């Protein structure tokens, strides 16, 4: 299940890295007079959109992971409670069996 999510995350992370590199290149080109400020702003705006989507994916993944961990822990504790109740019941049965002697 997570493998597909993580591969999408890797692709988004790669796109964000490329976009950041393009912003740096465009800023350098602007300093050299090879690119206009509006073109640099376009690169920056696009890179910001990619970064925001990456952060949104990270937050969504984290929220899902926390919810699934909570459910897993609740199930684990519920099973442990049931296990110890069964042990207690068996001990009480054994005690009553020995008390009858």
pLDDT tens column, 4-59: 556 666 777 788 888 888 889 989 998 999 989 998 898 899 889 988 988 898 89
- Which pLDDT does position 4 carry in this prediction? 59
- Which pLDDT does position 53 carry in this prediction? 87
Q: Do 60 and 50 form a contact (C-beta atoms < 8 A)?
A: no
Please check the confidence at residue 72 and state whether its pLDDT lies above 60: yes
Q: Which residue has the higher pLDDT, 85 or 43?
A: 85
Measured distance between the N- and C-terminal CA atoms of the chain, rounded to whole angstroms: 57
- The domain ranges of the chain are 2-99
Q: Do 26 and 35 form a contact (C-beta atoms < 8 A)?
A: yes
């Amino acid at each position: 299940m997570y493998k597909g999510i993580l591969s999408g995350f890797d692709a988004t992370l790669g796109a964000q890295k490329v976009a950041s590199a393009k912003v740096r290149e465009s800023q350098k080109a602007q300093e050299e007079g090879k690119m206009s400020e509006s073109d640099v702003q376009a690169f920056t705006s696009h890179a910001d959109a990619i970064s925001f989507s990456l952060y949104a994916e990270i937050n969504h993944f984290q929220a899902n992971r926390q919810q699934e961990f909570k459910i897993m822990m609740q199930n684990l504790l519920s099973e442990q409670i049931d296990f110890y109740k069964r042990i207690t019941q068996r001990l009480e049965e054994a005690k009553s069996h020995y008390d009858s002697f």
